[in-house]
Structure 1
Amino acid sequence: MRSRPVRVLIVDDSASMRGIVRSLLSADPDIEVVGCAPEPMTARAMIKDLDPDVLTLDVEMPGMDGLSFLERIMRLRPMPVVMLSTLTARGTDVTIEALRLGAVDCIAKPQGGPTDMEREADALRRTVKVAGRSSRPRRPEISRPAHIDQPLRDDIAIAIGSSTGGVEALFSLLSSLPANCPPILVVQHMPAAFTAGFADRLDRLCPMRVCEAVEAMPVEPGTVYIAPGGRHMEMAGNNGRARIRLHDADPVSGHRPSVDTLFRSMRPMASKAVGVILTGMGSDGAQGLLAMRQNGARTLGQDEASCVVYGMPRAAFEIGAVQQQFSLNALPGAILKACQSIVREH
């Protein structure tokens, strides 16, 4: 347990927004706002002087390159950074890139002023406190994609769940898998406005096709399906005739989309499935992964040393849902090995 409050430095070019964020964070006795900066040069000096635990960083600030500032932080003085973003198209794209570069999480900046921000106060405070407890592992390597010499069965599928720190992890993991991999279904906890942009960015950088999932879309090899924010995603059917199912049922494990919901939908074909749980806060996915394992699936977890937040993988490991844990850099090979073992057994 922490013996002192999480110390936060706020960086935002808007004086009014700096005041709002300071007020909301200061209302929590477990958070101490140590300073506010209007731009990166001031922030850089304040980071050296104040040594904050967490930085909140505005995504879009006139006259500066926020991504270059974030990249410099991650290279020279790695620390937890929480992005505050508007939901504009450009803001969304920049936010996804910020998460890829290593920001712990992003919080949507309300358009309506203090009243809207107050509604998001709990999420903002919770995210900052989680960031304060997070680790800052070395940036994951992106390896040259592997290649599968022999086509895998078309009824094998991979299901992946992630949350805090998951964007960076997924860029690394998916970029290291081959273009001819089995279909991959992904639930990443993020706002609805960001999932389409996230899928588009992955599609440009990964060997396989990546898309935001659409109702009734066929599940095909060489394709990654990203669950749309605000909707549960399941795989319906098997034996090479599976399709995506989306629905708006109540949140599960506090989330929609829920990793548990995706994993549980894999049970009918679990003996031909691989379940993977990555970095994230909380326990979403633990029970679903256990159900997959109990029905014959191969189940893998990210290890503590390579996680930003070892919450979801820990919860799954502690209840016996994870067969083996691997570093993020070792997971692509472990996933392919699990798929090949399915081929041998079937």
Structure 2
Amino acid sequence: MKFLITHQSQLSLARVRRAITAVLPQAQLLTATSLTDAYNLSEHHEPHCVLISETLANLPECELLFSLLGILKLTCVVLTEGKTGADVHSLPPATPKVPETELELHIGQIVQAAGRTVPATKLDPKREGSVADYDPNKLILIGASTGGIDALITIAQHFAEDCPPVLIVQHTGGSFARSLIRLLNSACRATVTPAEEGAAARTGHIYLAPDDRYHLTLAQRRRPYIHLQSGGLISGHRPSIDALFMSAVPMAANVTAALLTGMGKDGAAGLTELRRAGAQTIGQDQHTSVVYGMPRVAMEMGGVGQQLPLGAIGPALLAASTTKVRA
């Protein structure tokens, strides 16, 4: 059986290794001291079980790792510092928590849980036929934060090779941008790629900021193109959803924008300005939001044209980008 132990403390890594090998001498053990290493090891080695410290599990960036583990159907266990541990906001439901000092007592249960795990299945992008012709001038913009990775995967499955250009800002650590791009690329038939300065926004492509050094924005000459804007944090973030949405206000008539689950208010002001300028705007509803923060603020500001459950947002974005409906 293969375990991945993820802990910021070398002493704790050694302690957990001893606890596992005392019960399972033949176990294969992988170790990581950062979420980046844990993500890469999980993606390429697919361990039966990932044990992660409570401290690392509480980092916002861990949401991406939890999403990957869910897709690969890998068992995850959080090692707590006490009997109960702190709440982990992005922790998937029913994820067990085990006190680090009592791990040896729970190895049998962990092995049983990992043994019941269904073999991983690849994401299955939706193969729905186009119901309309897309307007070549249309653009789709999406912003998301806490809970947004699973939401983006759900939406991305609707995007195919002929979809309008899509630009996405998801709040996540800069070192995880490339991992998120790979994850979304496996979820859809469109091409998901890091944005490049000056590149044209092309049909069938989804663009994300390559890291957290720049804001992902749009500029326009004769046609819209990508601009990686330098500068400080905007609405507390870089890349910022507000930066992307505000940059698209001059081309609002051709824009459909969605603001998804997330904490805070980034994107709310930008969505409101887009709607005022003539864009079609969508906010995720409270019931399907992990955190009903950003879309709530946008709703209160008057920036949400339609409030929709997550499952309806992908089709709605595409429907708003059509030029004529087929009979």
State the TM-score, normalized to the length of structure 1.
0.63
Matched, 1:154 2:140: no
- Can you list the C-alpha shifts for 1:1-48, whole angstroms capped at 9, x where unaligned? xxxxxxxxxx9665936879xxxxxxxxxxxxxxxx948x99xxxxxx
Report the counterpart of residue 66 of structure 1 in structure 2: 49
Q: CA deviation at 1:206?
A: 1.0
Instruction: Give the match for residue 321 of structure 1.
Output: 303
Q: Amino acid of the residue matched to residue 65 of structure 1?
A: H
Partner of 1:300: 282
Distance 1:285 1:94, change over 3 A: closer
- Do structure 1's residue 227 and structure 2's residue 182 form an aligned pair? no
SS of the equivalent of 1:217 reads coil
How has the CA–CA distance of structure 1 residues 308 and 18 changed in structure 2, closer, same or farther, with 3 Å as cutoff? farther
Q: Which residue of 1 aligns with 2:31?
A: none
| 2:235 equivalent to 1:242 | no
1:54-73: CA deviations, max 9, x gaps?
A: xxx99469995336x89xxx
Structure 2 contact 125–187 (Cα < 8 Å) conserved = no
Any conservation in 1 of the 2:132–2:319 contact (CA below 8 Å)?
no
Q: 1:13 to 1:253 in 2, by over 3 A?
A: closer
Does the 8 Å contact 2:218/2:244 carry over to 1? yes
Distance 1:99-1:18 versus aligned 2 partners, 3 A rule? farther
Distance (whole Å) between structure 2 residues aligned to residue 94 and residue 135 of structure 1? 11
Asked if 1:252 is matched to 2:258, the reply is no
Q: Distance in 1 between matches of 2:154 and 2:324?
A: 25
Letter in 1 for 2:166: I
Matched, 1:185 2:170: no
CA distance in 1, matches of 2:236, 2:249: 21
> Does the aligned pair in 1 maintain the 2:46–2:72 contact within 8 Å?
no
2:57 is aligned with 1:83: yes
Q: CA deviation at 1:309?
A: 1.1
Change (3 A) 1:269 1:220: same
Pick closer, same or farther for the CA change 1:81–1:157 going to 2, 3 Å: farther
> Which of 83, 89, 93 pairs up with 1:131?
89
Offset from partner CA, 1:147-199 (integer Å, 9 cap, x none): 32553222100000001111111111101223211000000011111111211
1:217-254 Cα deviation digits (max 9, x unpaired)? 11011100012231101111166x22110022110010
Q: Is the 8 A contact 1:267 1:292 kept in 2?
A: yes
Q: CA deviation at 1:337?
A: 2.1
Structure 1 residues 13, 171: closer, same or farther in 2, change over 3 A?
Answer: closer
Give the TM-score taking structure 2 as reference length.
Answer: 0.67
Q: Counterpart in 2 of 1:45?
A: none
Matches within 5 A, 1:1-346: 14=7, 16=9, 38=16, 59=38, 65-66=48-49, 83=57, 97-98=68-69, 131=89, 144-230=126-212, 231-237=214-220, 241-340=223-322
After superposition, what is the alpha-carbon deviation per residue over 1:65-106, rounded to whole angstroms, capped at 9, x for unaligned?
A: 336x89xxxxxxxxx997379x9xxx9996661376799xxx
Aligned pair in 2 of structure 1 residues 270, 93: CA closer, same or farther (>3 Å)? closer
SS where residue 238 of structure 2 aligns? coil
Runs of 4+ in 1 over 3 A off after TM superposition: 11-20, 57-64, 80-85, 91-96, 98-103, 134-137
Q: What is the number of equivalent residue pairs in this alignment? A: 259
Aligned-residue RMSD, C-alpha: 4.0
Q: Secondary structure at the match of 1:317?
A: helix
In 2: Cα distance, 1:84 partner to 1:130 partner: 5
What is the aligned-residue identity percentage?
32
SS in 1 for 2:134: coil
Aligned residue for 1:299, secondary structure, equals: strand
Instruction: Give the partner amino acid of 2:89.
Output: A
CA contact (8 A) 1:278 1:302 kept: yes
For the pair shown, the structure with the greater C-alpha radius of gyration is 2
